Amino acid sequence: MIYRAEEVRERFARRGLSFDPTVEEIVRGILEAVREEGDEALDRLSRDLDGHPVEEIPKRLWREAYEDLDEELRDALETARERIEAFYREEARGGFLRAEAGGVLGQLVRPLGRVGVYVPGGSAPLLSSLLMSVVPAKVAGVGEVIVASPPRVHPGVLAAAWVAGADRLFAMGGAQAIAALAYGTGRVPRVDKIVGPGNAYVVAAKRLVYGVVGLDGLAGPTETMIVADGSASPRLLAADLLAQAEHGPDSEPWLLSPDRALLERVEAELFRQLQDLPRAEIARQALEKGGLVLTQDLEEAFALANLYAPEHLCLALSDPLPWLGRVENAGGVFLGEGSPEALGDYIAGPSHVMPTSGTARFQGGLSLRDFLKVIPVMGLAEGAVRELARKGAVLARAEGLEGHARSLDLRR
């Protein structure tokens, strides 16, 4: 179905993460049980919900899984890791210490001590999500990276853990895995931050443990928005929309264009390509969540894209680079139809862990900064202290904090 821009504008403007109160109530019980009972509750919940107790999978089995892969898949994993690592080594991570007349000011930049990476199970083993989360953490210098993935961990996930250089891997999933990582148990160490996508229960658990641990963000259903002009290929556009749609029935694939003829050709192409797509029924449901939108011009298309704040923004334009300056809100940008979002999902370099549900309005994709903390450093010379203490005391008394003011007065 082709929508007019005015039909979707209000829908885009009201976007945001939503939470099912029933799910949250269930998750609260899971978190409380793991926090109070530790491994006993963790195993009980894992048996009840996943049909298998929690176990730590030794690295020997990761290596064996890696060696059992066919050579082509091993090479793809290695290439993906190399490109992700190279991309994040370009990101600045050093602090500074600057001497000046008034003393010393600076920043210490330190990696987090321990990070938990959640890798979903389900119908598609997300080898790529493990690489996209573990490799940046290792580049940042995180002391220990612990992976959690639902029981009966796919051999491909084990192999990816080996390639990425993870430190430990537990077969545990759902809200109970998030609880174990957040609070720690006898077997599972407590982490400083949890990253990685998951289902509604995982997202609810992450939301409820925030403050006990740090988070990369809260992920909703995945989404792609394509802005296209008449130069774009209907066949490629349809393929890119279906690549997003097959993730799940709640995915949102959108195409915005001022060219009605192009939209009509894409609509026909979608119908044709769906005929032999293995996950066609899932994709059909997702296409109903998204749609094709006719805009007055490209300016209106970019205004709608910024309003929507997509996880993935693809610019299928004859010359996309001049339009990059119009992008205000997006998790990641893909320039030209030769740089499809599916390439970013696997092997381009940047992490595919990106903000969804409009949260790209205030946060970006997973980066080195997510695994680092910045510690300000201050060491002022005596003369500077005397001058600044006088003015600082004035501010303190304006706030009614006499103890602060007297502490500063003593420095004068």
Confirm whether residue 118 is marked as ligand binding: yes
Confirm whether residue 244 is marked as ligand binding: yes
For residue 232, the one-letter residue type is A
Catalytic annotation, pick one of 269, 312, 341, 352: 312
C-alpha distances (whole Å) from 310 to each of 154, 254, 365 are 30, 9, 11
314 strand-pairing partners: 226, 334
The alpha carbon dihedral of 316, 322, 323, 327 has a sign of positive
For residue 125, the one-letter residue type is P
Q: Are 223 and 247 in contact (CB under 8 A)?
A: no
Q: Which of 168, 171, 173, 110 is nearest to 144 (CA)?
A: 168
Confirm whether residue 399 is marked as ligand binding: yes
Q: Which of 165, 209, 163, 150 is nearest to 69 (CA)?
A: 163
Q: Which residue has the tokens 């658990």?
A: 205
Return the axis-axis angle of helices 200-209 and 21-37, rounded to nearest 10°.
60
Active site residue 312: yes
Catalytic annotation, pick one of 252, 269, 311, 337: 311
DSSP per-residue codes, 207-239? HHHBTTBEES----S-EEEEEE-TTS-HHHHHH
Active site residue 311: yes
Confirm whether residue 52 is marked as ligand binding: no
Confirm whether residue 409 is marked as ligand binding: no
Confirm whether residue 352 is marked as ligand binding: no
C-alpha distances (whole Å) from 129 to each of 117, 136, 180, 197, 214 are 9, 11, 20, 8, 19
Which parts are annotated binding residues for Zn(2+)?
Answer: 244, 247, 345, 404
Which parts are annotated binding residues for NAD(+)?
Answer: 118, 176, 199
Which parts are annotated binding residues?
Answer: 118, 176, 199, 222, 244, 247, 312, 345, 399, 404
Active site positions, annotated: 311-312
Which parts are annotated binding residues for substrate?
Answer: 222, 244, 247, 312, 345, 399, 404
